[in-house]
Amino acid sequence: MCGILAVFGVVDNSQAKRSRIIELSRRLRHRGPDWSGLHCHQDCYLAHQRLAIVDPTSGDQPLYNEDKTIVVTVNGEIYNHEELREKLKSHHFRTGSDCEVIAHLYEEYGENFVDMLDGMFSFVLLDTRDKSFIAARDAIGITPLYMGWGLDGSTWFASEMKALSDDCERFMTFLPGHIYSSKHGLRDDSRVVINWYLQLFSFSLLVAALVEAVIKRLMTDVPFGVLLSGGLDSSLVAAVASRHLAEAKVARHWGSQLHTFCIGLKGSPDLKAAREVADYLGTHHHELYFTVQEGIDALEEVIYHVETYDVTTIRASTPMFLMSRKIKSLGVKMVLSGEGSDEVFGGYLYFHKAPNKEEFHQETCQKIKALHLYDCLRANKSTSAWGVEARVPFLDKAFINIAMDMDPEWKMIRPDLGRIEKWVLRNAFDDDQKPYLPKHILYRQKEQFSDGVGYSWIDGLKDHANEHVADAMLTNAHFIYPENTPTTKEAYYYRTIFERFFPKNSARLTVPGGPSVACSTAKAVEWDAAWSKNPDPSGRAALGVHTAAYEEVVASFPAANGST
């Protein structure tokens, strides 16, 4: 990942203002520690903090067209940049950067080129010929972007709100799939299909789409690996990547053997499962450990970097934050991760209660639309805090379109038919002739990341919050925090830390509402009223699904028995 900051229409364009822009851009240096860049044009500034993944030698930003009248600062990866270069043969490219195509595409097609991009991205582009500018964010919101306004009439954009919060009177999350044009305003340009279904579906099509999504994300000139929790999603990503590296006989920096990483408290479920998957795949596996106290000690840093007070996000971000630091210390700058599968396939345990396929499908659509507030935000900012880039194959544009076009009946959880959560994905990769994974891993039950690293992690967080938040503090919380009032001591504790770093109302409004329980949505309560009695968002408490009785249902399904 990289860090971008762009400011347009400042009244003061003195050297002092330039120094201030550099200072604010420096707040994003953790995202891109490899190089810094700044382009100034009259009252316009485009700053960049680079994490060099593709073309580390010559791909510094900002990037330009041939005569430097078009300037662009980009955070992300454009996986189809070579294909796009073929459409731009009349243009001269200065670098091997995948992001340089954006400047030339604008020059060729104007503002209507963003849907041609296949990747994860946020970018800001300045046309110096008329001082017009555009900003855009990928359709899912894998990479973060914020927009703000200064009292002097200036317009601001940044990868993280910490670069805007002091100098903007108001700022907000830039919506995924949107384009802002200084000429035409804000518009929705998302073309990802997540609204309805009933296209002909085949298991082989789903497999091919995920394999292609993983392979295209191996576009890198630096050492990489896979975050492997031992659950279905990360295990499939590791299996596909490992198979591709072996078959392609590609030596990429560390050789053709895939490196995998897992973190947890000693003895945690994830560590055990990940080791088993790594042994099966033959990866070079790295087991990383942390203690509850180490996690608690990191909370302030985590909240500063992730920029949220959402309980589930902070719980899961902390071990990911600690793991990313250790991964970076090993020389790795890019990792593949399994985010997005639960949203696309209805993998959260409350989906067991979905009454019909229509409601099941609509809920998956809502979960995908909210990814930028939860899992994408966590995965991006937790890793970027240490200059590591996380890529997410399950959120590939083509893969999502295929997965969301299928009749959701295939995704429904049907214990009477032996179908557990994400059955359609498991079944698609259930290959007896050339197995991707052992059966019991392929059909392993869903485990929340914050649970899988060790159940005492959440218990330790609650105990710590109970020690630092008095009963009276929680009782009066609605007076102190009238917006998104915390309802538990843990939520109150995180909120106090967040407010110290980001005291403006604009900041607190970037976090979704209530106690911000991402999994326990209103829809879950509607499907089963018993959910409302569970104040904790932990997946292990999900309506009794995470029980031995559930495991008996799984065991009764013949395809889930045995191992390969």
Residue with tokens 């459409």: 87
Binding-site residues for ATP, please?
227, 263, 337-338
Read off the pLDDT of residues 301-319 as tens digits, 9 standing for 90 and up: 999 999 999 999 999 999 9
pLDDT for position 194:
53
Read off the pLDDT of residues 153-204 as tens digits, 9 standing for 90 and up: 999 999 999 999 999 999 999 999 999 999 999 998 765 555 555 556 789 9
pLDDT for position 9:
96
Binding-site residues, please?
98, 227, 263, 337-338
Q: Structural domains in the chain?
A: 3-188 (3.60.20.10), 203-560 (3.40.50.620)
SS (HEC) of 218-262: CCCCCCEEEECCCCHHHHHHHHHHHHHHHHHCCCCCCCCCCEEEE
Cα–Cα distance between 161 and 314 in angstroms, integer?
17
Binding-site residues for L-glutamine, please?
98
Read off the pLDDT of residues 214-260 as tens digits, 9 standing for 90 and up: 999 999 999 999 999 999 999 999 999 999 998 875 544 556 789 99
Read off the pLDDT of residues 88-111 as tens digits, 9 standing for 90 and up: 999 999 999 999 999 999 999 999
Do 458 and 538 meet the contact criterion of CB atoms below 8 Å apart?
yes
Give the tokens for residue 483. 């917006």
Three-class DSSP category at 441? helix
pTM for the complete prediction?
0.93
Catalytic residues: 2
pLDDT for position 454:
78
Residue 549, pLDDT above cutoff 50: no
Cα–Cα distance between 545 and 549 in angstroms, integer?
8
* Upper half-sphere CA count for residue 539 (Cβ side, 13 Å): 21
Give the tokens for residue 315. 């719980």
